[in-house]
Amino acid sequence: MDVRLLLENTLPGLGYELVDFEMTPGGGFRVFMDKPGGITVEDCVSVSNHLTRLFMVENVDYERLEVSSPGLDRPLKKEADYVRFTGSLAKIRTRLPVEQQKRFQGRIAGIADGVVSLVVEDGRTVAIPLANIDKARLEPEF
């Protein structure tokens, strides 16, 4: 059973978005979810209980299940994340250099045709292909 696919099909029906999924050493699962307005402890408890029953029905073998919000430094994984968080501050690391560098911090200006536009500190707009992004996270602002 593909657990990621099971989560992608289940969480939206419960009103949540699957942000990320990790397998942990020892056979556990870590599920990061989000919804407009943020995640509460009650949301985590509810989804954890639902997934526990679902995994039992689907015969998914696991040692431990962790369900949480993605945090303030939420990872950006999908094209929809860059649309949703346009205007937000982000840190992006690329696989291959773009303009002779691999690490960027700036405001997400948008995404078009699979290319993220990021306005960096000196006011330049850097075009980063989504396929070249190794890791991207929101940068919390207070």
Whole-number Å distance between alpha carbons of 102 and 95: 7
pLDDT at 89: 97
Residues 57 and 85 in one domain: no
Give the type of residue at 64: R
pLDDT band at 11 (very low <50, low <70, confident <90, very high): very high
Domain carrying residue 12: 3-68
Phi, psi of 56 (to 5 degrees): -65, -45
Residues 71-76: what's their mean pLDDT? 94
Lowest mean pLDDT of 1-5, 29-33, 93-97, name the range.
1-5
pLDDT at 1: 67
Residues 39-59: what's their mean pLDDT? 96
Give the type of residue at 89: L
Query: Got the DSSP string for 87-100?
Result: TSEEEEEEEEEETT
- Among residues 60, 58, 67, which one has the least CA distance to residue 19? 67
**Kind of pairing, strands 133-138 and 125-129?**
unpaired
Kindly tell me if the per-residue pLDDT of 138 is higher than 80. Answer: yes
Lowest mean pLDDT of 1-5, 110-114, 128-132, name the range.
1-5
| Mean of all residue pLDDT scores within the chain | 95
Q: What is the pTM of this model?
A: 0.83
Look at the chain and report how many structural domains it folds into: 2
Residue 109 lies in a domain: yes
For Cα atoms 101, 129, 94, give the angle at the middle one, nearest 5 degrees. Answer: 35
Residue 74 lies in a domain: no
Residue 73 lies in a domain: no
- Among residues 18, 26, 28, 25, which one has the least CA distance to residue 66? 28
